[in-house]
């Protein structure tokens, strides 16, 4: 199924500062560029002011910016900028094919019919450097889409969508399942690992023609004990790959933290990580396979920082121990939650950004040793990405 862009100019609704940003922050009410000078970062003029920006990414291969907008009443729309956000054109949004006659597709948990229509374009991910113009998009209700023409058209990866195991998937946060993590393997353009809430993790080595489960070792405490180890129904909140050692993947799961050293073939649980192992975001160090960052909240039931103190946890030894980083973060009366796409590390492994549900944004130039507040007045933050 292929969809093609039909409109071509959104610039009239977005007056944007035309400058190269160092990062992009998608929020409930617009997309904000972030300019960084040394240890200081500041917020620039927004694009799409007033509209919910689900995810935004700058393609490092050609400098294009992509933004996924959830207009609610008016549906999901994707936009691309070829001039660093000065102007945007609307490209195609992922569209599902018609559900074939006689196909029954029921959400395993809600027992309601899954509608084959894009509810959310949850994550956008540039493809491998050897595949210029190739993009991936993970959506709710669970479809993975590929574009080979910079978002002008999208094709549903039907092999994953039509896989029988999908009948076991269900929603995490949203009513239906969704793909939120797409980890391209820098060693090969056809090798991917994707994370699904709640449908485990899946890997392909042939560009998406066939898929293997990649969630053995994860643990689902939200199911009867006999089902807790079922890889098909795990809820990885976010999966992040170490670019320098791509077999190393980190996962912040609904029920804890997990690490894989065999490209998702198996996962080991990390049972202790500072004040809590519950959270949504994870950032893998791009060069050091032993280093990753997390932002803990109390628990599934209480999704706020422990004791009202916002901290970042960092391991530098593969999860054996964690530093609790709080320098520059609010240490009293803080009720910020960091969503799964709202923690990012840059390609150097030194610069971090995290954005919260209460509209705060923090920056670190020293791998989390110290943070500075960029803003406390943004709309709720959905996504943070370095350019």
Q: Does residue 174 interact with another protein by CB under 8 A?
A: yes
Q: Does residue 227 interact with another protein by CB under 8 A?
A: yes
Q: Does residue 357 interact with another protein by CB under 8 A?
A: yes
Q: How far is the CB of 304 from another protein (least distance, A)?
A: 10
Q: How far is the CB of 116 from another protein (least distance, A)?
A: 18
Q: Do residues 124 and 55 make contact, with C-beta atoms less than 8 angstroms apart?
A: yes
CB-nearer residue toward another protein: 85 or 379: 379
Place of tokens 């929603």: 171
Return the residue of 109, 124, 312, 352 that touches another protein, per CB under 8 A: 109
Q: Does residue 28 interact with another protein by CB under 8 A?
A: no
Q: Does residue 253 interact with another protein by CB under 8 A?
A: no
CB-nearer residue toward another protein: 291 or 356: 356
Q: How far is the CB of 310 from another protein (least distance, A)?
A: 16
The structure tokens listed for 232 are: 């098909």
CA dist list (Å): 354 to 41, 150, 157, 238, 256? 12, 27, 31, 14, 20
Stretch that binds another protein, among 68-76, 103-111, 344-352, 370-378 (CB under 8 A): 103-111
Q: Does residue 175 interact with another protein by CB under 8 A?
A: yes
Residues sharing a CB contact under 8 Å with residue 108, sequence separation 6 or more, in sequence order? 167, 168, 169, 170, 233
Q: Which residues pair with 355 in a beta bridge?
A: 361
Using DSSP bridges, classify how beta strands 323-325 and 343-345 pair: parallel, antiparallel or unpaired: unpaired
Q: In what order do the strands lie in the sheet with 312-315?
A: 278-284, 292-297, 312-315, 323-325
Return the residue of 223, 244, 290, 298 that touches another protein, per CB under 8 A: 223
Q: How far apart are the first and last CA of the chain?
A: 31
CB-nearer residue toward another protein: 42 or 112: 112
CA distance 241 to 146: 20
Q: Does residue 166 interact with another protein by CB under 8 A?
A: no
CB-nearer residue toward another protein: 253 or 314: 253
Q: Does residue 40 interact with another protein by CB under 8 A?
A: no
CB-nearer residue toward another protein: 157 or 239: 239
Q: Does residue 198 interact with another protein by CB under 8 A?
A: yes
Residues 300-339 as x/- pattern, contact with another protein by CB under 8 A: xx-x---------------------------------x-x
Q: Does residue 72 interact with another protein by CB under 8 A?
A: no
142: left (phi over 0), alpha (psi -120 to 50) or beta: left
CB-nearer residue toward another protein: 87 or 119: 119
Q: Do residues 225 and 269 make contact, with C-beta atoms less than 8 angstroms apart?
A: no
- Cβ burial, residue 80 (10 Å; 0-12/13-18/19+): buried
Return the residue of 33, 151, 171, 379 that touches another protein, per CB under 8 A: 171
Q: Do residues 334 and 356 make contact, with C-beta atoms less than 8 angstroms apart?
A: no
Residues sharing a CB contact under 8 Å with residue 289, sequence separation 6 or more, in sequence order? 242, 244, 245, 248, 261, 318
CB-nearer residue toward another protein: 23 or 337: 337
Using DSSP bridges, classify how beta strands 120-126 and 89-91 pair: parallel, antiparallel or unpaired: unpaired
Q: Do residues 160 and 145 make contact, with C-beta atoms less than 8 angstroms apart?
A: no
Q: How many residues bind another protein (CB under 8 A)?
A: 26
Q: Does residue 226 interact with another protein by CB under 8 A?
A: yes
Q: Which residues contribute to the site for another protein (CB under 8 A)?
A: 108-111, 170-176, 197-198, 222-224, 226-227, 235, 254, 300-301, 303, 337, 339, 357
């Amino acid at each position: 199924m292929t969809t093609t862009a039909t409109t071509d100019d959104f610039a009239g609704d977005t007056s944007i500062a035309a400058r190269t940003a160092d990062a992009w922050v998608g929020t409930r009410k617009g997309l904000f560029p972030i300019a960084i000078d040394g240890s200081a970062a500041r917020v620039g003029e927004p694009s799409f002011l007033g509209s919910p920006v689900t995810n935004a990414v700058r393609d490092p291969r050609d400098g294009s910016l992509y933004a996924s907008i959830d207009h609610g009443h008016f549906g999901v729309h994707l936009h691309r900028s070829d001039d660093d956000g000065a102007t945007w054109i609307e490209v195609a949004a992922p569209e599902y094919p018609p559900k074939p006659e006689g196909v029954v597709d029921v959400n395993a948990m809600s027992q309601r019919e899954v509608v084959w229509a894009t509810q959310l374009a949850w994550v956008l991910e540039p493809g491998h450097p050897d595949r210029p113009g190739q993009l991936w998009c993970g959506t709710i209700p669970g479809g993975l889409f590929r574009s080979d023409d910079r978002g002008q058209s999208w094709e549903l990866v039907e092999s994953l969508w039509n896989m029988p195991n999908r009948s076991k998937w269900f929603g995490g946060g949203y009513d239906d399942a969704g793909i939120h993590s797409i980890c391209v393997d820098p060693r090969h353009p056809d090798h991917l690992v994707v994370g699904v809430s709640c449908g485990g993790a899946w890997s392909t080595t042939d560009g998406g023609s066939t898929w293997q489960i990649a969630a053995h070792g994860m643990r689902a405490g939200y199911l009867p004990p006999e089902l807790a180890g079922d890889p098909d129904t795990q809820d990885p909140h976010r999966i992040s790959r170490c670019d320098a050692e791509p077999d190393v993947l980190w996962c912040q799961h609904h029920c804890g933290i997990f690490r894989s050293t065999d490209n998702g073939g198996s996962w080991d649980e990390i049972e202790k990580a500072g004040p809590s192992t519950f959270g949504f975001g994870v950032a893998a160090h791009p060069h050091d396979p032993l280093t990753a960052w997390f932002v803990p909240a109390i628990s599934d039931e209480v999704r706020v920082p422990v004791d009202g103190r916002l901290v970042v946890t960092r391991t530098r030894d593969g999860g054996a121990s964690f530093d609790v980083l709080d320098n520059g973060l609010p240490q009293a009366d803080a009720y910020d939650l960091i969503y799964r796409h709202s923690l990012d590390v840059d390609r150097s492994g030194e610069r971090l950004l995290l954005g919260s549900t209460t509209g705060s944004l923090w920056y670190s130039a020293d791998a989390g040793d110290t943070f500075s507040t960029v803003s406390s007045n943004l709309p709720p933050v959905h996504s943070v990405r370095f350019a």
